[in-house]
Structure 1
């Protein structure tokens, strides 16, 4: 049984490398294609046994499960290319949120699902969102979640919550990294702490905080209350953040949702030639 990957950009490569590193897949079980063949050939050289396919059709014909790791506006072109090659028992998996299950199910004669990964899956951690089409049986879902579970925590979500869940699990690492970057910048500017040391301290802090929230029995609110002594230094900092960041995260999600709606509209136009409500 081969698992196929169409698209070996950033997330496609993360998935391939993570599945191999975790032991979920052997390189000989992986076939990949990419618009730029050089990228696939580099992966094949790095992981002997991995098959660098000559075309997307080859991947779709040879693999029982195919991950589509391409940009939203490329999906229609790729699907039109492979739809005659997939079999009814093939599972095609999208890793992008603006391409909806209805787009996939109306265009492909096979089982379809969505898995929204996170960069954290690259270190075999974090969540991976799982959304299933109607043709996926309970056995199909269990098999996919076993595979995904080797590189992270599979979390089933309704498609209507895909965007906001992705904001946390997939976009969140970038948002959190931005916060960490700004905290490090401030430590360097205000106190002259060497940047390397500040970065190391911040990274250890993020790791430890994650463990407290996952394993230590804390919620974000209880952790904040436990650390912040009334009238103390931390409370002074939190009061400033409360004033300055009051609506920041609401506006952040509004911005990501607006871009998502824009992308969905463009995808709708490609699949149907018009916007479908």
Structure 2
């Protein structure tokens, strides 16, 4: 079985676990989670009693072929130095770390590497995940990752040079539109006497 390993169970890692399981794209027997903090591991086990919990990141990569790394960018190099020595090169690394390029990751691991940038609205299945595959990623692995992230929202394939601009639009765009709608509703309510709550409902 091609288990999906998720290294990191903070905001992003837990969002992915919840989203994958809620959508049905994966079952609890198809996910293994590793997290540095015991509290995070306990929280995951409490929320999903049947999910796989790895005691270490190295244990996780021995059990999984698709490995999603959901840690802060400054932790990425340390994670790679820890796990790459026990990998056989057939794995597929999916990095969620903003600002860490494919080239940097491929410098540590010369196999299949993908960058994925989900938005916060992916937590409710309404987000957009930007996906950029490295040169070594085959069709099977590409479709596998795109299928996983499409279960929590839309997937948009982008070139790596377009990631900063695309991230700005996908992350800030929804918030900006919400602010505009709220201001429009407020202005209409003040001008017309319409209750603010009702004006907001009508505007959305």
TM-score per shorter chain, which class? 0.7 to 0.9
- Over 3 Å counting, the alpha-carbon distance change for 1:112 and 1:174 in structure 2 is same
Report the Cα distance in structure 2 between the residues aligned to 1:202 and 1:60, rounded to whole angstroms. 48
2:137 counterpart of 1:136: yes
Cα pair 2:118 2:128 within 8 Å, conserved: yes
- TM-score, normalising length: structure 1: 0.65
Q: Secondary structure at the match of 2:104?
A: helix
Q: What does the per-residue CA deviation read over 1:176-216, in whole Å, with 9 as the maximum and x for residues that have no partner? A: 45555666777899999877x36xx546744xxxxxxxxxx
Cα pair 2:33 2:52 within 8 Å, conserved: yes
Report the Cα distance in structure 1 between the residues aligned to 2:184 and 2:171, rounded to whole angstroms. 21
Q: What does the per-residue CA deviation read over 1:95-144, in whole Å, with 9 as the maximum and x for residues that have no partner? A: 13300000111111421101111122222223211101111012221222
Report the Cα distance in structure 2 between the residues aligned to 1:8 and 1:172, rounded to whole angstroms. 26
Residue of structure 2 in register with 1:94 after alignment: 95
2:69 counterpart of 1:68: yes
Query: Which residues of 2 match residues 174-193 of structure 1 at below 5 A?
Result: 174-179=175-180
Q: Which has the higher helix share?
A: 1
- Once structures 1 and 2 are overlaid, which stretch shifts more, 115-124 or 16-25? 115-124
Residue of structure 2 in register with 1:153 after alignment: 154
- Over 3 Å counting, the alpha-carbon distance change for 1:37 and 1:135 in structure 2 is same
Q: Which has the higher strand share?
A: 2
Residue of structure 2 in register with 1:18 after alignment: 19
Report the Cα distance in structure 2 between the residues aligned to 1:66 and 1:102, rounded to whole angstroms. 17
Residue of structure 2 in register with 1:30 after alignment: 31
Q: How big is the alpha-carbon RMSD for the aligned residues of Structure 1 and Structure 2?
A: 2.5
The count of aligned residue pairs is 203
Ranges of 4+ aligned residues in structure 1 off by more than 2 Å: 170-195, 201-206
- Over 3 Å counting, the alpha-carbon distance change for 1:69 and 1:187 in structure 2 is farther
Cα pair 2:185 2:203 within 8 Å, conserved: no
Report the Cα distance in structure 2 between the residues aligned to 1:72 and 1:129, rounded to whole angstroms. 17
Q: Structure 2 unaligned runs (5+)? A: none
Q: Structure 1 unaligned runs (5+)? A: 207-277
